[in-house]
Structure 1
Amino acid sequence: MQVQSTAGASAPSGEQISMFTRIYSLTPGAAALRELEGLLQELERNLETLKLSLQEQQDALTKVKTSGRNPQTATPIFTRQAISTLSQYALDLHKSNEASREALRCLANAFLLHEPSRQVFVDLGYAHKAADRLTVDDHDDEFLIARILFYMTYNTTLDFQILLDQHSLAENINRHISRHANAYSKSAKRKSATAVSREAAMSETCKLMFNVTHYYPDSVPKFTPAIEPIINILRLHDLPDPPLQPPTSYLINALLNLDLQAAERRTPLGREARSSPMFPYSDTESFVNRLIDILDAAIRKQPERDLDQAAAPLCTLLRRLYELATSQMKAYMRWLLLPNTKDREKPLGQGDTLSARLLRLSCSPNLPTLRGNISALLFELSDKDANKFVQNIGYGFASGFLASQNIQVPANAADASSSADANDFNPITGQRLSAEDREEHGSEPMTEEEKEREAERLFVLFERLKATGVVDVKNPVERRFEEVDD
């Protein structure tokens, strides 16, 4: 039937309106909305009548969960009444069963898609009940409750201090972390459905712990018991490929806000001897080795665009470990991470060693966060001494960081050493002078590609040198870059 569109057309009749309503009601989106509304009404009625069997409740909640994944059809779930109904199935009607978990999944989806519904959950008083549910030793329960509470850390008025003081939130988180650590023994590393579920739950718990300790720093001492289990998991857990992804990344993040020194304890070696989970007396190097292996593998395997946020926390953790290490362990970390004699056969930053890769990343324009973290780590490894810093990585790599931190650049940093020792090195490039001499007299002519790379490297080094203001230099390769056509 055609409807006239002329200016003088009469208003649509009741029959036409009814027809349009029927046509609209047949669209898939409208049908899905009506079905979801009907399911929620049925579940709400059942709270009074209790006529639905446990399986029927679960089936209805599963359908609600499926509809709730689509933002276009999930809107009925976001109402106060729907959040109340689902919360009752999740946390009132059942303590822990699959119907309860399906209701928790519905809520988690709603909180992800519609932030205001989080505050509704808080206003209804269910956040405290969710925290109490963390006492259940079940991976699915842990995953869902930790995720829901994680969402509550954003844009709600929930006072987590109450959960910490009155609902044992920290103690329950610590207990779950310890439970996961016990599962990661050297004899039990099999990948199974249970292991996947455990990793997902552990990741959510670590995320929750990080946010709670970030927003409530006074709560940090309550989480000290979690330090050693987290470290043990990092030591024993099979690394994913590439390594800096969940759960590894969340485990590392979880340690950042904690007081690592507080985890020290007396050892059997003597009354005054103390051991830290970071440097266990039975194998003091194991945790440091693990973290550096993770860093090395990440740099080699992960695209640079993914490293900026992923690897920065790891560099921060290594820096904190160095602060707490003994003089012997500090020497060991310097040996692993700073350029060695072999690296100085070429200008620093060249080659495939970990130190060379770190130096290259420290001046990458694509890594605004990580490059600063790498430089800060290398500065820490130099005992925060500007002279040592320049000696360790060369003036070219050191000058930019020192200037950005308002640290005075040593006056003689750009001067070559006057010593006649064969191990003297070029203060700008960090290369041994004896190696430079050999290259000048015995090296093959550079290819055009090598010349271009060397020109780019020199350009960066001279620009850094100029920025410090220590010396007034003219970049000898500046015009070469200006003359290149786009």
Structure 2
Amino acid sequence: MEKLEALNGSAKGNEIRNLLQSLETGSEDKNSTPSAKLQLLVRLKSQIVSAEVASLLTESDIRTLCHYAFYGDLHSEYSDLIIESSQTALKCLANVLLLNKTSRQFFVDGSHAKAAAKMLNRSQEDELLCSRILFLLTYDTNFEFDELFENYHLAQNIHKNIAFHAVKYVRYKEGTEQGENADSLPVLNPAALTETLKLLFNLTQFYPRYSGVFIDTIEAILEILITIKLQQQPIQPPVTQLINALLNLDLSAVPDSEDNTPLFPKENPHQNYLRLIAILNSAVRNLKEEELETAVPLVTLLRRVYELAPNPIKAEMQSHLLPSNSERAQPLGKSDSLPSQLLRLSTSPIAPNLREGISSLLFELSDKDATTFVRNVGYGFAAGFLMTHSLSVPDGTLGNTSNEGEGIDPGEKMTKVDGREINPITGQRRDMEPEDSLPEMTDEEKEQEAEKLFVLFERLKATGVMNVVNPVEQAARDGRFEEID
């Protein structure tokens, strides 16, 4: 027979129709052997690689594939072949549902979603494929998952799978640290974990009323997050999905006692937030700036953690993420520390979502106080965020001392750190600023610069782009000019 790979156009369409017809006939033919059916499914799977091919499958074809995927006789003497056929049919379904949106509604109309929910725990291969199928049903269908939550233990099955992965990751880490032989270590399946986490994220996104049933799952997710070996570029599956899943869960939930929450466990309340900071540190050092938009969920999660943290933990997070006093020997943002990296990214022109996320995080770490924010990061880094969020510029910034008559130096909170004067613009200590080695300008040079500035303002005003007032005009209106001979 001509190889399927060589077929194209109508020939490929005819061959696929023949395969599907044989599968439909075989599903009712008791004389058709399980081995023959498996071979047909394998050949079909190899061909469903494009939207064009996937569009050839009708509602009847989806029903036939579901028969092999979910309803085989596992108690027969050919159970191994039937399981293999089931998983091959699941792969066909997953590919078709991915490539052809219309087929998802065919699947829903056939009431097969509950069969997929029941099969989530059969094996990790089934976990991967059934999670992917259910995930795809959250888009472009009219399917409601309430029945699966209430009658088919969907939340419990998802939790069991994630908890099972957590046990394996912990065991794997312990084994590698003890130098065990690789053959004795559990086989990890990050692909299956990733698909389950994607399903969990979408379910809690579209059905937030059920997020509370995943309280126990928070601990399992965090357990994986602190034990998984990070890649050089850490923001990738399944780490990405672990972080995303946590964003939709109620991290303030207290399953047992107030002093032993999943986020801040009593035996080690520091481990989770330190791990998140370590992932962020690795990401900003190993990813290009334009790639760092993928770190936005991580930054958002750190904001959530800080919001829920007890005061001692908040102080520790501030020490890790805000510039230290030792960095004030030079303008803030100039060193190689993580806080300096974050400051530079907070003004990134090519990563706008990350820029906003980091600025918001730094503002949160400053207890949402504009004066503290400017003192912590310098007005140069704070100005854009304050302006875009309509936050008033604190008194004392840039020499603004409108409240001096009250007997309190309004700029002291902002211009002094540990009793040392700092430049509120750059954040650098005044005593560490370089001395101005340039000679003082002559009166003639001052006049020349003023004239240049006047011309620039006039040109800018003429463009109509901005409504600016020439400072010379303003000075004249204010009566600050004095006629001299």
TM-score range, shorter chain: 0.7 to 0.9
Q: Does 1:329 align with 2:313?
A: yes
1:451 is matched with none
1:167 is matched with 152
- The unaligned stretches of length 5 or more in structure 1 are 1-25, 267-272, 443-470, 475-486
Flag the 1:263–1:145 CA change in 2: closer, same or farther, 3 A: farther
Q: Does 1:107 align with 2:86?
A: no
Flag the 1:431–1:64 CA change in 2: closer, same or farther, 3 A: same
2:234 is matched with 243
2:444 is matched with none
Structure 1-normalised TM-score? 0.80
Deviation at 1:251, TM superposition (A): 0.3
Instruction: For 1:256 and 1:183, locate their aligned partners in 2 and report how far apart those are by CA, in whole Å.
Output: 23
Instruction: For 1:386 and 1:361, locate their aligned partners in 2 and report how far apart those are by CA, in whole Å.
Output: 19
Aligned partner of residue 259 in structure 2, secondary structure: strand
Q: Retained in 1: the 8 A contact 2:215–2:255?
A: no
1:27-176 equivalences under 5 Å are: 28-77=8-57, 79-94=58-73, 97-136=83-122, 138-176=123-161
- The unaligned stretches of length 5 or more in structure 2 are 1-5, 75-81, 401-410, 439-467, 472-485
2:407 is matched with none
1:169-208 equivalences under 5 Å are: 169-185=154-170, 186-188=173-175, 198-208=189-199
Q: Which amino acid aligns with 1:400?
A: G
Instruction: For 2:31 and 2:397, locate their aligned partners in 1 and report how far apart those are by CA, in whole Å.
Output: 82
Instruction: For 1:117 and 1:191, locate their aligned partners in 2 and report how far apart those are by CA, in whole Å.
Output: 42
Deviation at 1:278, TM superposition (A): 1.8
Q: Retained in 1: the 8 A contact 2:168–2:188?
A: no
Q: Retained in 2: the 8 A contact 1:264–1:274?
A: no
Q: Retained in 1: the 8 A contact 2:380–2:425?
A: yes
Instruction: For 2:169 and 2:251, locate their aligned partners in 1 and report how far apart those are by CA, in whole Å.
Output: 21
Q: Which amino acid aligns with 2:37?
A: Q
Match of 1:369 among 353, 357, 362: 353
2:340 is matched with 356
Deviation at 1:408, TM superposition (A): 2.4
Deviation at 1:307, TM superposition (A): 1.2
Q: Does 1:347 align with 2:331?
A: yes
Match of 1:253 among 213, 225, 244: 244
Q: What does the per-residue CA deviation read over 1:155-209, in whole Å, with 9 as the maximum and x for residues that have no partner?
A: 1111011111111111111111111111112324598899776211110111001
2:368 is matched with 384
2:464 is matched with none
Q: Which amino acid aligns with 1:58?
A: L
Q: Retained in 2: the 8 A contact 1:315–1:374?
A: yes
1:219-238 equivalences under 5 Å are: 219-238=210-229
1:210 is matched with 201
Q: Retained in 1: the 8 A contact 2:169–2:188?
A: no
Flag the 1:70–1:402 CA change in 2: closer, same or farther, 3 A: same
Q: Does 1:424 align with 2:409?
A: no
Instruction: For 2:237 and 2:275, locate their aligned partners in 1 and report how far apart those are by CA, in whole Å.
Output: 16
Question: Once superposed, what is the RMSD of the aligned Cα atoms?
Answer: 2.5
Q: Retained in 2: the 8 A contact 1:422–1:434?
A: no
Q: Retained in 2: the 8 A contact 1:33–1:74?
A: no
Structure 2-normalised TM-score? 0.80
Q: Retained in 1: the 8 A contact 2:216–2:255?
A: no
Deviation at 1:71, TM superposition (A): 3.2
Give 4+ residue runs of structure 1 displaced > 4 Å after superposition. Answer: 189-197, 416-422, 439-442, 471-474
Flag the 1:281–1:168 CA change in 2: closer, same or farther, 3 A: same
Range with bigger deviation, 143-152 or 396-405: 396-405
Instruction: For 2:363 and 2:276, locate their aligned partners in 1 and report how far apart those are by CA, in whole Å.
Output: 18
Match of 1:436 among 433, 437, 441: 433
Match of 1:319 among 276, 279, 303: 303
Deviation at 1:422, TM superposition (A): 5.9
Aligned partner of residue 52 in structure 1, secondary structure: coil
Match of 1:284 among 269, 277, 281: 269
Q: Retained in 2: the 8 A contact 1:344–1:432?
A: yes
Flag the 1:89–1:159 CA change in 2: closer, same or farther, 3 A: same
Instruction: For 1:117 and 1:194, locate their aligned partners in 2 and report how far apart those are by CA, in whole Å.
Output: 40
Flag the 1:403–1:301 CA change in 2: closer, same or farther, 3 A: same
Q: Retained in 1: the 8 A contact 2:345–2:355?
A: yes
Instruction: For 1:168 and 1:264, locate their aligned partners in 2 and report how far apart those are by CA, in whole Å.
Output: 20
Q: Retained in 1: the 8 A contact 2:166–2:221?
A: yes
Aligned partner of residue 399 in structure 2, secondary structure: coil
Flag the 1:94–1:414 CA change in 2: closer, same or farther, 3 A: farther
Q: What does the per-residue CA deviation read over 1:389-414, in whole Å, with 9 as the maximum and x for residues that have no partner?
A: 11111111112112222222323333
Identical aligned residues as a percent: 43
Instruction: For 1:337 and 1:38, locate their aligned partners in 2 and report how far apart those are by CA, in whole Å.
Output: 62
Q: What does the per-residue CA deviation read over 1:127-181, in whole Å, with 9 as the maximum and x for residues that have no partner?
A: 1211111232x11000000000000001111101111111111111111111111
Q: Which amino acid aligns with 1:89?
A: Y
Q: Retained in 1: the 8 A contact 2:378–2:426?
A: yes
